[in-house]
Amino acid sequence: MSGNSIGKLFTVTTFGESHGIAIGGIIDGCPPGMALSESDLQGDLDRRKPGTSRYTTARREDDEVQILSGVFEGKTTGTSIGLLIKNKDQRSQDYSDIKDRFRPGHADYTYQQKYGARDYRGGGRSSARETAIRVAAGGIAKKYLKEQFGIEIHGYMSQLGPIKIDKVDPAVTNTNPFFCPDADKLDALDSYMRDLKKSGDSIGAKVSVIASGVPLGLGEPVFDRLDADIASAMMGINAVKGVEIGDGFAVIEQKGSEHRDALTPQGFATNHAGGILGGISSGQDVIVHMALKPTSSISVPGKTIDVDGNEIDIITKGRHDPCVGIRAVPIAEAMLAITLMDHCLRHRAQNAQVHSQTPDIAGKAE
Amino acid sequence: MSGNSIGKLFTVTTFGESHGIAIGGIIDGCPPGMALSESDLQGDLDRRKPGTSRYTTARREDDEVQILSGVFEGKTTGTSIGLLIKNKDQRSQDYSDIKDRFRPGHADYTYQQKYGARDYRGGGRSSARETAIRVAAGGIAKKYLKEQFGIEIHGYMSQLGPIKIDKVDPAVTNTNPFFCPDADKLDALDSYMRDLKKSGDSIGAKVSVIASGVPLGLGEPVFDRLDADIASAMMGINAVKGVEIGDGFAVIEQKGSEHRDALTPQGFATNHAGGILGGISSGQDVIVHMALKPTSSISVPGKTIDVDGNEIDIITKGRHDPCVGIRAVPIAEAMLAITLMDHCLRHRAQNAQVHSQTPDIAGKAE
Amino acid sequence: MSGNSIGKLFTVTTFGESHGIAIGGIIDGCPPGMALSESDLQGDLDRRKPGTSRYTTARREDDEVQILSGVFEGKTTGTSIGLLIKNKDQRSQDYSDIKDRFRPGHADYTYQQKYGARDYRGGGRSSARETAIRVAAGGIAKKYLKEQFGIEIHGYMSQLGPIKIDKVDPAVTNTNPFFCPDADKLDALDSYMRDLKKSGDSIGAKVSVIASGVPLGLGEPVFDRLDADIASAMMGINAVKGVEIGDGFAVIEQKGSEHRDALTPQGFATNHAGGILGGISSGQDVIVHMALKPTSSISVPGKTIDVDGNEIDIITKGRHDPCVGIRAVPIAEAMLAITLMDHCLRHRAQNAQVHSQTPDIAGKAE
Amino acid sequence: MSGNSIGKLFTVTTFGESHGIAIGGIIDGCPPGMALSESDLQGDLDRRKPGTSRYTTARREDDEVQILSGVFEGKTTGTSIGLLIKNKDQRSQDYSDIKDRFRPGHADYTYQQKYGARDYRGGGRSSARETAIRVAAGGIAKKYLKEQFGIEIHGYMSQLGPIKIDKVDPAVTNTNPFFCPDADKLDALDSYMRDLKKSGDSIGAKVSVIASGVPLGLGEPVFDRLDADIASAMMGINAVKGVEIGDGFAVIEQKGSEHRDALTPQGFATNHAGGILGGISSGQDVIVHMALKPTSSISVPGKTIDVDGNEIDIITKGRHDPCVGIRAVPIAEAMLAITLMDHCLRHRAQNAQVHSQTPDIAGKAE
């Protein structure tokens, strides 16, 4: 049933299969008066798209987005924005051999059972290609968040298999194909990925996203909490199996005296909470981490069954990322932007004039 | 703005503050014809409620739930179910000293800034007391899931500070105040908690929930994915800072050949995925883990500010759990039940007759 | 399934049956900082409640509403507001004879078939008693709309059977049991109702509601149009069978040159549109009319069937309004208030700063 | 803010302006396994499109719809269906003269004030062109409703200005450009419209839609009532100012003994209720009427203001329907189909097995 929309006031709805005619989406709720053109969105689409380096799939997808509505004379009109990306490189023949078999670790089996049939070409609707529209939608949100609220979002790859990133230098992140913010780890990554590719196997990754400049007060306290909505947005990215806010799973072994972030007249002393307290943004940086599983599309042989239930061997041929986590960086940024955008609009609906805020310490110092 | 509801077809809406007149909720979407009385819900409420052991707060809350509507002659009628729990033990005086100060690690500061005022008594709306209604709602869902689909849900504490649980014996879980499924760890837990209480500090915990008997095909593939909805439900529990499905953060260091669960004619060979592929349940057990932070309400002194921005020292007096994670077990079960219930109803809306399923291997063997 | 909620940002959810323990609701989305107490809501509840005149049912319902949460130290906190009205006068025995039969024109038959069972006492969930909570929720919305936006809402009975109201004097409306704004029609109404009561029959009515001071720009243009949402809110009132905005069904025979409201530098010259153009409020008065059917609970004998499908005669005994339309006036006001409140909050979410308005002519003159 | 979606389980979201690149939509929630191609939708699109007779606008719009996703090997897959209709005949120059003025009776003024700017070309987003996508979405719903539930929907023009239709012969409706089901009125309509066109004026109309074969039990009883949702769907059609279910406004003067539909062992004796009791379908025909205002785009001169607030004269040139109500017939059918589809899916979510229905008398006889 319907489940292709996210957001309450800033609503993103998508359609499209990997090898269909086109993918697209409707962005509903962008306020009027913002300058917007395709070029504002293309940068992130290019960061996401495959074929940009030898570490990602060699598949070429010209993710050229077209804005079909909602923009007039260069500015948003406040009405729904239609986005379209035509599918080009659709070599369907590559996928004909998976028509009658279920690739392990993929959605082939669950789609087949849920729907009784599936568009098997390239994963159909379950393909990561669908996320291109999320990235475009996120681009709209990012622009608005920056211009109206001063929010900036920085995503990076924070671990690849055994290689952990120690240093986060945002200036480095987008200068390398790994979205790695630590220049000292680039050689290790390069060498690890080369070996991995030779082995025909794949590897998991950790991706982190930080939003700075987030206004205090985003998030509803019980169910539409900011952290709950972020968790949903991130877990909804293909291959994500875990989400953390702030210290995340490390809190299990922390003591209260250690974890709690002291408030001082100059601001919070630390940010173990990851910028969210009681489901509401505290004005500190919002910090999110997520774990992405290794793709199951590998050339290492595996066991599976065909659609008739017979045991078979499977080797995934074709062009696949040995680490799908890498390209998730712009997707994670987009999903955080979409979530924050929704909550910024919701927050605004509450009358600021009705109550007078106590002096805002957030952002003074950390 | 509105944010006190969860679920699309099985919708739970709650109200109430820790020290107000009552807390309550409306459960909308329970199908008609199910036998239901207060006693069906009281068991889980008693598991959640404080004051049941020396390791949890000594505060007594008689969480006696009352069903106000939606049940006629002992059966649900299909209309909305009103639930009410009166607040009894409301010693407001205990909290008068926190009226003008922000407890670090709590929602005091974010509530005050978001709303311009707050019900400071016992945390008001941000108090974990609100979760009693979630537990009652979860009880309704659990009963329906079990009777109509054969789904059973088992939650347990899987780590407390440094103490990791190795063995999961469901028969043990509810026999001890830790919801610990490993009888061999009870002494260590007892001794650890005793020392912790003396130190006046608190500790984090990990909680796990397993749903068995989950039908194949729950979850919408893009945004209303089953894993995304579970992540949201769990991250929305007070103190939760991380959520995992299946292998969770361990996937970062896994290889594809290791992670992917082979399909065999007898069923899946393993369950690294945690029962969800492409956002859709695979028919295997759904496995969820979460990390809960240590409470900030401790007697170890800390730094904070008052409502005028002055630096002050803070010591939380009163009755507080040294490990709030423990009592989260029934809450996590309830949130998983509510999420599965919503998706079971959504799944049913899709016409089973339109497509014919391929033979279902799930559940055959693992 | 779930369907007991209305509103997107200002959300009202209700529960309760006519003869259950209590009815209640959760009002989610009221901004913080508004002074609120039960007495603010009681006035409208008293206007709605039966037993206030000899023309309405003699049933006494002490519709005393209790605010259970969301208000602290006399002001709304921004969290969900729990409302409760206990049922008192529950003479169940009056209804025992309708247990096994379907009253024609009532929801007995459709409830029985939809749910397989029904709470037959007094109509159960389909009883107009449920609307008491809508009236209380509307009271909260009315207060906010008036204080923050200067919106005022005036409902009145505009036709009762053949008696049409010609003059609308708001000062008269609440001085008589008919909510009739025309003092010259009171005698005719009194005499008509007396005769009707003698005959044991009932009659339909027309109710009108006007909102003045409505800001320009409420309503989303395509599906969440202000007029569409008003139509839904009004058609959702028990017994309503038709809804009009502005000139309503009279437009069928109007010419374009007649219908269109000229804009002048001093404002709109007329208001055929009823204050809404393209789904968006124009700044003029919002004008809504609705038709309410005569109740089927009459002492005139009729034909129906019992639950086994046998033909039987039916006479409804007991205490029933000969014209249910009269008491719908405060309900219609409440539903308009709830709808406008939701759209005022939605409108605020759109950034006023982004665009600069052209000079606002609305309200200058009409 | 977001408001371009309708439906809860069968969700239709649209985008596009009259003179933009394209209009389109996403249909989310169509179950899998239904045969579907563009040709299934084109028939209704052709019925709606302008330029088909001399009584509608001479504007040619080749409303050729393209299905971009959600259909694989000729059948729906259960994923979201992307629809696209390219705009062709975009003579923007025709509209340049209305750039700086507000056409009375149009959404020009409210859009300008709400959004601070507007796509003035042909009404932009407020153009009836947007409804083409609703018609295409309705085509999908109609097909499913017919195949899975046996529901059929018949819309017709029931009054045009002073000319009332007396006889409803479905076989006649689609044989004439007026969607008039009464062959005896065709000459009068032809002559009336000819005169009207000469006068340069326009006229209102009444449109009726009947759904037969509707299963008993559709609709939630309180807020998501079937009648409330229908009212919203119909009032959301451009130019609609009134909606009736069953006898509608005629109930004002009816007595209870007259209005109530007797139940007999052979079914309901009459259908004053229009097939809905207590918000729930009774199994009888669902009967809906609506009033459509005369278009304000006429060549009769009128008064208005320009964007600077100066008084000016206005004459609408160009190609406009003298009676926009006529072309609303397929739109009204589509909106009823979309609403019924949503409720059919919602109804299915409720477990039929839990309760056993009493014997269904609906449909036996009327």
Domain range list for chain B: 5-349
Say yes or no for a CB contact (<8 Å) between C79 and B7.
Answer: no
Higher-scoring residue by pLDDT: C134, B59: C134
pLDDT at A309 exceeding the cut of 50: yes
How far, in Å, CA of C244 to CA of B254, rounded? 63
Is B265 annotated for ligand binding? no
CA distance B40 to B30: 15
pLDDT value of residue B56? 57
Q: Return the residue of A nearest to D85 by Cα.
A: A68
Confidence (pLDDT) at B234: 98
**HEC string of chain D?**
CCCCEECCCCEEEEECCCCCCEEEEEEECCCCCCECCHHHHHHHHHHHCCCCCCCCCCCCCCCCEEECCCEECCEECCCCEEEEEECCCCCHHHHHHHCCECCCCCCHHHHHHHHCCCCCHHHHHHCHHHHHHHHHHHHHHHHHHHHHHCCEEEEEEEEECCEECCCCCHHHHCCCCCCCCCHHHHHHHHHHHHHHHHHCCCECEEEEEEEECCCCCCCCCCCCCHHHHHHHHHHCCCCEEEEEECCHHHHHHCEHHHHCCCEECCEECCCCCCCEECCEECCCCEEEEEEECCCCCCCCCEEEEECCCCEEEECCCCCCCCCHHHHHHHHHHHHHHHHHHHHHHHHHHCCCCCCCCCCCCCCCCC
The two three-digit tokens of residue D5, written as one number: 């979606």
pLDDT at D263 over 60: yes
Percent of chain A with pLDDT over 90: 75
The answer to whether the annotation marks C105 as part of a ligand binding site is: no
Determine the residue of chain D that is closest to C133 in CA distance: D222
Per CB-CB distance under 8 Å, the chain A contacts of B334 are: none
DSSP H/E element including C134: helix C131-144
Backbone angles phi, psi at B93, to 5 degrees: -60, -30
pLDDT band for D97, please (50, 70, 90 cuts): confident
What letter would DSSP give residue C292?
E
Cα–Cα separations (whole angstroms), residue A310 to A65, A113, B265, B364: 42, 16, 6, 14
Kindly list the residues of chain B whose beta carbon comes within 8 Å of any beta carbon in chain D. Answer: 8-9, 31-34, 78-80, 148, 221-222, 345-346, 348-351, 353-355
Task: Tell me whether residues A4 and D79 touch, CB distance under 8 A.
Answer: yes
Given a cut of 80, whether residue B366 has pLDDT beyond it is no
Residue D357 pLDDT level (bands cut at 50, 70, 90): very low
Asked whether residue A72 carries a pLDDT value surpassing 70, the answer given is yes
Cα separations (Å) of D118 from B73, B271, C348, D124? 58, 54, 19, 7
Given a contact cutoff of 8 angstroms between Cβ atoms, the answer to whether C17 and B69 are in contact is yes
Query: In chain C, how long is the greatest CA-to-CA distance?
Result: 68
Least trusted range by pLDDT, from A257-266, B115-124, C237-246: B115-124
- Give the closest residue to A15 by CA, choosing from A59, A79, A68, A92: A68
Given D23, D75, D82, which is nearest A24 (Cβ)? D82
Q: How much is the average pLDDT of A22-41?
A: 96
pLDDT computed for residue D349 by the predictor = 86
pLDDT computed for residue D356 by the predictor: 43
| Phi, then psi, of C318 in degrees rounded to 5 | 95, -165
By Cβ distance, the residue of C33, C222, C355 closest to A355 is C33
> Helix (H, G, I), strand (E, B), or coil: what is residue C268?
strand
* Best of D8, D351, D358 to mutate (most B CBs within 10 Å, chain B): D351
Average pLDDT over residues A257-265: 95
D324 pLDDT tier (thresholds 50, 70, 90): very high
pLDDT of residue C94: 60
| Chain A neighbours, 3+ Cβ pairs < 8 A | B, C, D
CB atoms within 10 A of CB D135: 28
Orientation of helix A38-48 relative to helix A131-144, angle to 10°: 130
B354 neighbourhood in chain D, CB within 8 Å: 31-34, 148
Nearest CA in chain A to B234: A228
**CA A162 remoteness from chain centre:** 22
The answer to whether B327 is a known ligand-binding residue is no
Largest CA distance in chain A: 68
User: Which positions in chain D touch C98 (Cβ < 8 Å)?
Assistant: none
Instruction: Spell out which residues of chain D touch residue B8, defining contact as CB-CB under 8 Å.
Output: 8
- Nearest alpha-carbon partner for B334 in B191, B238, B216: B238
Enumerate the residues of chain C whose CB falls inside 8 A of the CB of residue A224: none
Facing residue for C28 by CB, picked from B4, B79, B345: B4
* CB contact set of D177 (below 8 Å; sequence gap of 6+): D52, D53, D54, D55, D56, D326
Range B39-64 average pLDDT: 75
Q: Do residue C31 and residue A350 have CB atoms under 8 angstroms apart?
A: yes
pLDDT at residue A299 is higher than 60: yes
Low-confidence ranges of chain C (pLDDT < 50): 353-357, 363, 365-366
Q: Do B256 and A346 touch (CB under 8 A)?
A: no
| C-alpha distance from A223 to closest chain C C-alpha (Å) | 12
Which range among A151-160, B201-210, C296-305 shows the weakest confidence by mean pLDDT? Answer: C296-305
Average pLDDT, chain D: 90
Residues on chain B touching C25 (C-beta within 8 angstroms): 26
Q: Would the CB atoms of C354 and A33 count as touching at under 8 Å?
A: yes
Model confidence at B57, pLDDT cuts 50, 70, 90, reads low
**Testing the interface with A: which of C350, C353, C358 to mutate, by most A Cβ within 10 A?**
C350
* Residue C30: φ, ψ to 5°: -75, 125
Q: What percent of chain B has pLDDT over 90?
A: 74
pLDDT of residue C91: 57
Q: What is the pLDDT at residue A315? A: 83
- Per-residue model confidence (pLDDT) at position B356: 44
| D297–C252 C-beta distance less than 8 A | no
Tell me which DSSP letter residue B363 carries: T
**Chain B residues whose beta carbon lies within 8 Å of the beta carbon of residue C2:** 7-11, 28-29, 80
Q: Would the pLDDT of D343 be above 70?
A: yes
A350, A356, A357, A358: which to substitute to probe chain C, counting the most C Cβ within 10 Å? A350
* pLDDT value, residue A63: 83
Average pLDDT of A267-295? 97
Rounded to whole angstroms, the Cα distance separating C340 from C343 reads 5
Dihedral (CA of D346, D348, D353, D359) sign = positive
B5 to chain C: which residues are within 8 Å by CB?
Answer: 5, 11, 13, 28
At the topology level of CATH, where does D5-349 sit?
Answer: Chorismate synthase, AroC fold (3.60.150)
Q: Is D2 annotated as a binding residue?
A: no
Paired sense of beta strands D71-72 and C311-314, if any: unpaired
Rounded CA-CA distance A321/A326 in Å is: 9
Query: Is C262:C268 a contact under the CB 8 Å cutoff?
Result: yes
Q: How confident is the model at residue B96 (pLDDT cuts 50, 70, 90)?
A: low
**Closest by alpha carbon to C57, among C161, C127, C125?**
C127
The predicted pLDDT at position C130 comes to 93
Alpha helices in chain B (DSSP H): 38-48, 108-115, 131-144, 170-173, 186-199, 226-235, 256-259, 324-349
- Has residue B365 got a pLDDT over 50? no
Distance between CA atoms of A293 and A239, rounded to whole angstroms?
A: 5
Number of residues assigned to chain D:
366
From chain B, the residues in CB contact with A157 under 8 A are none
The encoded tokens of residue D75 equal 């059948």
B-contacting chains (≥3 CB pairs under 8 Å):
A, C, D
- Was D126 annotated as part of a binding site? yes
**Residues 6+ positions from B87 with CB-CB distance below 8 Å:** B16, B18, B19, B20, B21, B22, B23, B61, B129
Per-residue pLDDT band at D317 (split at 50, 70, 90):
confident
pLDDT tens, position by position, A118-135: 898 888 898 889 999 999
β-strand partners of A153? A211
Band (pLDDT 50/70/90 cuts) for residue D354 is very low
Q: Indicate the residue of C13, C24, C26 with minimum beta-carbon distance to B68.
A: C24
Query: If DSSP codes are grouped into helix, strand and coil, which group holds residue B316?
Result: coil
| Residue C243 parent element (H or E) | strand C240-245
Could you tell me which chain D residue has the CA closest to the CA of B355?
A: D33
pTM (predicted TM-score): 0.95
A96: exposed, middle or buried (Cβ count in 10 Å: 0-12, 13-18, 19+): exposed
**Averaged pLDDT for residues D170-184:** 96
Which residues on neighbouring strands pair with residue A16, listed in sequence order? Answer: none
Share of chain B above pLDDT 70, in %: 89
**D3 marked ligand binding residue:** no
Chains that touch D (3 or more CB pairs under 8 A): A, B, C
Distance CA A302, CA A328 (A): 25
> How high is the pLDDT of residue A265?
93
d(CA B173, CA A313): 41
Residues in chain C within 8 Å Cβ distance of A348: 348-351
Average pLDDT over chain C, rounded to an integer:
90
Residue A23 banded pLDDT, cuts 50, 70, 90: very high
> Is D101 known as a binding-site position?
no
